[in-house]
Structure 1
């Protein structure tokens, strides 16, 4: 797609752009504070180091923090400067693509781990080891990086050197413009979508049936069902990243006068809102993690009070 296409020349007013940037920056600060607290809690307590569930969780938290920082930085820069250097943009786009694709695949891995823990508990310790967990994380990065990095190689081979010194509105179609890459992305998106979706459906249905069969308490079964539904909602929201470019293009053609609103809403729904669910589902709602998270905040508050009292004593 041509970078000078009229739909990419539409710009918000200064006030609207300022409000949008302020909102996303505030969301970034809030989420990174929450994610930072979760990472600190994980690092301070060795009990989590030997549990594959929490290793995968903290990998997702760090990945989401990087993804949000990169995408929001790119979002703000696009509003301030509108066009930026192609090489600089290429780096941001690739990191954003890697980390965005990582989250659904990581969640699929967590779903499989929970499936084994609930449906085959006797073999869970043998199958889900710490070493295999780190191998799985490496595979997650491999399957998410390789398809996207080929876009860069094709672009390096097909575009002149001057292109990488030019300035464009920083979106993926303006950087990786070869038509072949579009078909390749669509094929890989369909593959990722199918694999993650069927993993989600199979594991969570099995977990749901197992939870109902093992629980004689209706409330416990309902809690298990609600947790599974929350996991599924997060996965489905994250999986929107696979189809969001096509939906975005379709919506802008149907509502050409609402291009900026569609783009902004798409960004919030696909890239930001699912990241709010991760700390809630896997951090705050988890009893074990919540216990240590409370200790972290209580100890932090106590140390602040002790330090404050010490300063008052010195002043007296």
Structure 2
């Protein structure tokens, strides 16, 4: 997760503009996602469907990630140096939510696979209780890389380091080769697993759709899993940030700060809006309930004395 600005000092005007843009986008994204959460909570029918439970967990997870990322970005300008324990807490939360997003998408793909390929067992396997257990399992898996980083830090740095103030930027807080190796291997393992699940479920659902005499539900599930693939690509854009930074800064070194800002914006912030939005808007049932809820709220506020 690239959550802080580069360490190049910007002019006062440029720093203000960047922070206003980032904070404004963060508020807009979390407000839109918050509408999805309110719609889910206001309609009990969604809380009984594992598909919507997993979806709203993805939305909440991305809201937390946006909040942490924007907080770290602003703090990198306002405070520059943070207490090590507070910085670690933010980095662990941000990294954990970052790792959970693709895993959640894999879970959503599996749920659609079971609904189409094992329809008689779907309501036995994908119960709300089991879905919440699965979400807890995702958090346990997602936090492992962060705890590994923290453990490596404790074993390689003196205890006095924990009482210092630091630039709250992952490569600075976790600088050793062990941290870099952990980052590389965990990303390869996690993303390979997720892509395998998405491709496997898509192929099986596609095969089922071809066999079925009436394949409308299977075709919809196939398109949904394909959409999960698109969402996964959006999540993976953040992996391209270092590559884009390296290429663009090599070509335009005098614009290093602007390049870092734009790549952070395009690969870390915007995908967190598009990923939940394209899935939520596509679901007609969810959109209908959302319109009904907010139109009723608007009418109530309008007629209230």
TM-score bin, normalised by smaller chain: 0.7 to 0.9
| 1:33 matched to 2:59 | no
Task: Find the partner of 1:169 among 167, 170, 182.
Answer: 167
Tell which deviates more after alignment, 298-307 or 259-268.
259-268
Q: How many residues align?
A: 299
Per the alignment, residue 282 of structure 1 pairs with 279
Q: Distance in 1 between matches of 2:153 and 2:176?
A: 7
Q: For residues 236-256 of structure 1, what are the alpha-carbon distances to aligned partners after superposition, in whole Å with 9 as ceiling and x for unaligned?
A: 121344x34653674477455
TM superposition score normalised by structure 2: 0.87
Give, in whole Å, the separation in 2 of the partners of 1:166 and 1:252. 34
Note closer, same or farther for the CA distance 1:114–1:13 as it changes in structure 2 (3 Å cut).
same
Shift of the alpha carbon at 1:27? 1.0
Find out whether 1:263 has 2:260 as its counterpart: yes
Per-residue displacement from partner, 1:103-147 (whole Å, max 9, x unpaired)? Answer: 111011001111221233222112212222112111111111012
Residue correspondence of structure 1 range 199-238 to structure 2 within 5 A: 199-211=197-209, 227-238=224-235
Q: Distance in 2 between matches of 1:24 and 1:15?
A: 14
Work out whether residues 227 and 281 of structure 1, in 8 Å CA contact, stay in contact via their aligned partners in 2.
no
1:33-66, Cα deviation, whole Å (9 max, x unpaired): 1121111111111111110001111111111111
Secondary structure in 2 matching 1:11: coil
Query: In terms of Rg, which structure is larger?
Result: 1
Provide the residue aligned with 2:293 in structure 1: 296
Q: Quick one: distance in 1 between partners of 2:213 and 2:19? A: 48
CA root-mean-square deviation:
2.7
Find the aligned partners of 1:280 and 1:249 in 2 and give their Cα distance: 27
Q: Is the 8 A contact 1:251 1:262 kept in 2?
A: no
How many angstroms apart in 2 are the aligned matches of 1:232 and 1:215? 26
Is 1:134 aligned to 2:132, yes or no? yes
| Equivalences for residues 10-159 of structure 1 within 5 A | 10-159=8-157
Whether the 8 Å contact between 2:92 and 2:147 is mirrored in structure 1 is yes
**Matching residue within 231, 247, 259 for 2:243:** 247
Please state how far the C-alpha of 1:225 moved relative to its aligned partner: 6.8
Alignment partners' CA distance in 2, 1:158 and 1:46: 50
Q: Contact between 2:245 and 2:260, CA under 8 Å: does it hold in 1?
A: no
Rounded to whole Å, the distance in 2 between the matches of 1:142 and 1:125 is 25
Aligned to 1:314: none
Q: Distance in 1 between matches of 2:237 and 2:141?
A: 18
TM-score normalized by the length of structure 1: 0.84
Alignment gaps of 5+ in structure 1: 1-6, 311-316
| TM superposition shift of 1:266 | 3.0
Contact 2:117–2:204 (CA<8 Å) still a contact in 1?
Answer: yes
User: Structure 1 residues 85 and 227 mapped into 2: Cα distance closer, same or farther (>3 Å)?
Assistant: same
Q: Deviations over 1:149-201 (max 9, x none)?
A: 12112212322233233333221111112221211221111101111112222
How has the CA–CA distance of structure 1 residues 252 and 11 changed in structure 2, closer, same or farther, with 3 Å as cutoff? farther
Q: 1:134 to 1:227 in 2, by over 3 A?
A: closer
Structure of higher RCO (CA pairs closer than 8 Å, 6+ residues apart): 2
Give the secondary-structure state (helix, strand or coil) at the position aligned to 1:131.
helix
Structure 2, unpaired ranges of 5+: none
